[in-house]
Amino acid sequence: MELKSFRVRCFRSIKDTGWIDASRVTALIGTNESGKSNVLLALWKFKPARDGAIDLLADCPRSIYHRIKDSEQKPTFVEVQYELCESDAETISDLVGRPEQEVSKVQLSRSLDGTLRFSFPDSCIEKEMLVKPISKVAKVAIGKLDSIDTNTDRDSTAKANLQNTIKDATSRIQETADKLACIREFFGNESRLGSSEDTAIAAIYDSFLLELIASAVYDLAPHSVYYANYGNLDSEIYLPHVIENLDREDLRGVTAEKTRTLRVLFEFVKLKPIEIRDLGRESEYPNNPSQDEQIQIEAKNKKERDILLQSASTSLTQDFRDWWRQGNHRFRFQADGNHFRIWVSDDVRPEDVELESRSAGLQWFLSFFLIFLVECKGSLKNAILLLDEPGVSLHPIAQEDLSGFFDKLSEDNQVFYTSHSPFLINADQLDRVRTVYYDDVGEDKGLTKVSADLRVKEKSKGQIKSIYAVYAALEISVSKSLLLGSSQIIVEGPSDQHYLSAIKSFLIGRGLVKPERELLFLPTGGARGVKAVVPIIAGRDGKLPIIVLDGDDPGKQTAKRLKGDLYAGQTERIISLSDVVGVDEAEVEDLIPTRLYAWAVVRMLGVLAYDVEEEFTEYINEDDPNVEQVERYAKEYAIDLPEGWKVDVAKRVKERLLSKKFTDDDMEEEVVVWQKLFEMFNDEA
């Protein structure tokens, strides 16, 4: 179950963000005071793993607090949409008798009074349900059945059977981890448990089943964990205090954060604070001859402690080196009586120095590294991680390493983070960036806005400032690529960037291509914007960047102008997709297998194609251009394609192509074309 999008409204500085698409890693970029933290806090308070209680005084916008305070029904402040895994979607499809594509997406919301609601946004099941505990859902259903007067023995039997099944199922469903499977075990047949045509019994059955599913799905939804303070470790740790604090549940603030970090430190290196303390204990009269045996025992204990600490130090040093590349650091644990110390050295400074005397960046990353590497494999497995301003104290190069750490974390946990640093923006993955800014014009002046559009269309100084980090990231990426000898490839737009970066990862991952230089795809906002970007990134060696253009009229016209002017002597560095695919007027979408492209389009259309008799997977023809067919299909069935639909489809294709679920059967022809294109990149690099 994966979070695909969310929406925040009526929460602190936020009036309405609109729907925000979520990736495995999502970056919320903006200036100070833009409202980035409020976006994370709202998402956290939907289903927090710990803490995160709704505080009306703090969470309700101040401008409407006087209206909301005593109102009976509090407004919704967060809505989330999840995509179910195929097995869960299949289970619900069987239970409610609707196609999988209608129930594979579920929507949940929470109000400022804590009320939860559930619905299927892409289904004709219009009922929105309150999410209640399973025991309460069952109690209400049984009560409704009690109130029904049955006129026939068949109705009486159906009523009794349903009541008994509900009672038997409730305890079993509550006790099992896979609640949906358990629900299907009890209610997954079409006979309505032998009911007649009695609509009252049938209606209660349907309502109960939907509410039961809502409760089970909420239980499936991942918890969220919010991090703003990362609890930097001290170099000297007093073991009795640690042992006491580890057993306390009332800690708050810095002490709580440091205690959490100490907990994961000792867990990570397989040490127990009590054991370290006890192994170091000495008797009160060590010089007494009668204590010789005790002295030997204590010496043996201390030796064991030293070996434990040395082994743990080596383990941490080796694992840490895989992530922190800003120096070859070595850690050494030392225990002296009740005191536990952490020493650090490296190749440049071989002498041991206390941890707290090293850089703030090293201290921060060590704590961050320990927390997430340990907790994400244990109590926070599959949780959504919300990281507020991570890596502020890190060097820019270390921030880039941190971005790679997020990618690793995202294999098991979705990650959302806020930042205003361009070094935490991957220029090759701009699809994960959302800009957060405060509106400085109109009636929403001062309120938080969120946008996935990295182009400034409106005259908002707040938006311009937030997007600046993205442009700076692009400039840094280009500068870095020039310094390191990478190849810049100009493409028309974000869709091209998504498709080509996904294809690159796919081919490299299967050993089908080995680029001689790193390939960086830079979108320009359309064919017309290509010429303006070229001079900015032209290499010092006189080589112009490679350009990939669609085979449509704008692409042809742009290619013609460039070949007659700027690229007169380097025409081979302009690549037309029509020449690659072998289809006139080919666009980047025509590189994608029809089956995969159609899969993404169906999910993009969702509820827009409710009443269409023919699904797009049946409509599409392998021999025709992909985009042209989508537009023709939409026109034929009167579907209004949403703005930015091409980028939406591109993101879905990219995610699917690189996911563990995807199998590359029956796409040999496309892979050959991909290899041909990337060989052209290598030849021109």
- The 3-class secondary structure across 126-161, one letter per residue, is CCCEECCCHHHHHHHHHHHHHCCCCCCHHHHHHHHH
143, 157 Cβ separation under 8 angstroms:
no
**How much is the average pLDDT of 248-253?**
78
DSSP for 90-119? Answer: HHHHHHHT--HHHHSEEEEEEETT--EEEE
Concatenating the DSSP letter of every residue in 342-381 gives: EEEE-SSS-S-EEGGGS-HHHHHHHHHHHHHHHHTTTTTT
The residue-averaged pLDDT of 126-148 equals 86
What local confidence, expressed as pLDDT, does residue 54 receive? 92
Q: Are strands 129-130 and 546-549 parallel, antiparallel or unpaired?
A: unpaired
pTM over 0.75: no
Q: Is the pLDDT of residue 228 over 90?
A: no
Give residue 3's pLDDT: 94
Q: What is the mean pLDDT of the chain?
A: 82
Higher pLDDT, 476 or 444: 444
- Check whether 335 has a pLDDT greater than 70: yes
Which residues have a Cβ under 8 Å from the Cβ of 204 and sit 6 or more positions away? Answer: 141, 144, 145, 148, 162
- Binned at pLDDT 50, 70 and 90, residue 295 comes out as confident
Topology of 1-131+380-475 in CATH? Answer: Rossmann fold (3.40.50)
User: Do residues 319 and 364 lie in contact, with contact meaning Cβ atoms separated by under 8 Å?
Assistant: no
Per-residue pLDDT at 11: 93
Structure tokens at 637: 């069935």
Q: Is the pLDDT of residue 456 over 60?
A: no
Partnered with residue 305 across adjacent β-strands are none
Question: Is residue 621 within 8 Å of 586, Cβ to Cβ?
Answer: no
CA dihedral 287, 288, 292, 298 (to 10 degrees): -60
**Least trusted range by pLDDT, from 244-248, 465-469, 585-589:** 465-469
- Contact between 343 and 235 under an 8 Å Cβ cutoff? The reply is yes
CA distance 344 to 333: 9
pLDDT at 235 > cutoff 70: no
Task: Report which of residues 232 and 420 the model is more confident about.
Answer: 420
Average pLDDT over residues 152-156: 74
Do 263 and 243 meet the contact criterion of CB atoms below 8 Å apart? no
Element (H, E) at 434: strand 433-438
**How many Å separate Cα 384 from the centre of its chain?**
7
pLDDT of residue 428: 66
When pLDDT is averaged across residues 633-653 and rounded to a whole number, the result is 89
Of residues 515, 439, 526, 522, the one with CA closest to residue 488: 522
Q: How much is the pLDDT for 38?
A: 93
**Ranges of each domain in the chain:** 1-131+380-475, 132-219, 227-375, 485-685
Instruction: Return phi, psi of residue 431, to 5°.
Output: -65, -15
